Structure 1
Amino acid sequence: MKKKRLLAACLALALLPLLSSCSMISDYTLDLKSKLVGIPFTVSTYDYDGQKIDQIKGKSVYIETYKPMSKENSSGDEQSKVIDVEFGGQQMIHVGSSLIANEGLRNYEDTFSKKVTITDKQRSIPVLSIMYNNFRNDWLSKGKVIMIRSQAGKPIAVYAGNKVRVSATDMPSTTQINVDGHRLFIYRCDYSIYDMETIKKM
């Protein structure tokens, strides 16, 4: 019995790099698609209190740092928070207010409560928990609920997915999330991401 468990553990460790790389294929595909043909995004901006200012719906949208304002530090990290939203040959230059770009994702803001209270009495080892959750983000992502708020903490949007992967971008104050193979782009927003099973227990 012990030999079988040891063999299974060794096999899992051996396959770890392969499985990790496979899990990231969807993200790489989205990045490539974004650069080559753009992504069909709905781009919305919000004021400090979370009220929608404007919205763009484009079939071919690409978001990056606005090059004329680009500033890098000595380490080569981008410092400028001015972003360039390219859509259908047109351009929007944006800085300051909260911005969300989503690829056909449903906003569940009205479905979920605006305040979340979680009580959990299960013990865990923090170091191992962090390692496991970071690995799971790249490998076998669990269902997640993404709650997005304005800079004043007012609810803007709630998205949910069975496979959710969070990754960084080259742009300051931005996060990109892969939600079931669809891109979610968040700029200058507060947000919390919960395990779906945690929310279901509420």
Structure 2
Amino acid sequence: MSGNIHKRPKGAARILTAVVAGVLALSLAGCAAFDSWVGDVKGELTGNAFTMKAYSNTGELTMTAHGRKVGMEGNETTDDNGDKVMSSVVTVTIDGKEVESCGDTLVFNEDDLEPEKDFAADQLKSYDDGRLSNNTLFAQPLNRFKNLFGKARVVVVKSQMGSPIEAFGGNDVYWKVCDDLPKTTKLMIDGKALYIHRANFQIIDKDLL
């Protein structure tokens, strides 16, 4: 008994395998992680618009800037033995213009991602009117602002000295350490990117406040 056996072309089999693997990977990935991947691809292709804020070690705002194409890279230097090491200076490029920063906390939030509580702005107002007792950084724990947050999770960005700078609310939050950006962590908050350089952060379930 004989019959014709039809073999699937090798190229088609490889394509089918790749498609199945891709669908499986997407089904296993969380929504927030997928948003992070999409944002990275979009950034490489068209560039995302970000606001950069620079803060001192104690959380005082020292500079703001905005741009559509934002990049950051470390700089090499040499130690006493003549070996190359990473410098503490980073170069930030915003629409082709450069800022060299050493030691400051830098926060980059994507357009449409606004903090629900700006502690640094409160600090500035307190200094302006002379009433330091109203200064959020010294007198008011985060619990007092629970009702400001309408979403399930609260992301608090802090200075290197531990002073709260900004707080964001989100339902879907994901973070990762950036391999290509020096001392920088990327957070995705409901699909919007937040990069923090030389900063501490907390992600808190609102019900704990």
TM-score interval for Structure 1 and Structure 2 normalised by the shorter chain: 0.5 to 0.7
**Alignment of structure 1 residues 1-202 onto 2, 5 Å:** 17-21=25-29, 23=31, 24-58=33-67, 60-66=68-74, 68-69=75-76, 79-104=86-111, 105-109=113-117, 114-116=140-142, 143-170=152-179, 171-199=181-209
Q: Is the 8 A contact 1:48 1:98 kept in 2?
A: yes
1:38 is paired with a residue of what secondary structure? coil
When the two structures are superposed, what TM-score results if normalisation uses the length of structure 1? 0.64
Q: Which of structure 1's runs of 4+ aligned residues deviate more than 4 A?
A: 15-18, 78-81, 110-114
Q: Tell me, in whole angstroms, the C-alpha distance in 1 between the residues paired with 2:30 and 2:58.
A: 40
Q: Deviations over 1:112-164 (max 9, x none)?
A: 995246xxxxxxxxxxxxxxxxxxxxxxxx93211111112222111111111
Q: Deviations over 1:3-35 (max 9, x none)?
A: xxxxxxxxxxxx985433363321111111222
Change (3 A) 1:33 1:81: farther
Q: Tell me, in whole angstroms, the C-alpha distance in 2 between the residues paired with 1:81 and 1:144.
A: 32
Q: Tell me, in whole angstroms, the C-alpha distance in 2 between the residues paired with 1:87 and 1:114.
A: 35
Which of these two proteins has the greater Rg computed from alpha carbons?
Answer: 2
Greater CA drift, 94-103 or 166-175: 166-175
When the two structures are superposed, what TM-score results if normalisation uses the length of structure 2? 0.62
Q: Calculate percent identity across the aligned residue pairs.
A: 27
What's the RMSD between the two structures over aligned residues?
3.0
Deviation at 1:79, TM superposition (A): 4.6
Q: Structure 1: 5+ residue runs without aligned partners?
A: 1-14, 72-77, 118-141
Q: Is the 8 A contact 2:109 2:195 kept in 1?
A: yes
Deviation at 1:177, TM superposition (A): 0.4
Structure 1 or 2: more strand by fraction: 2
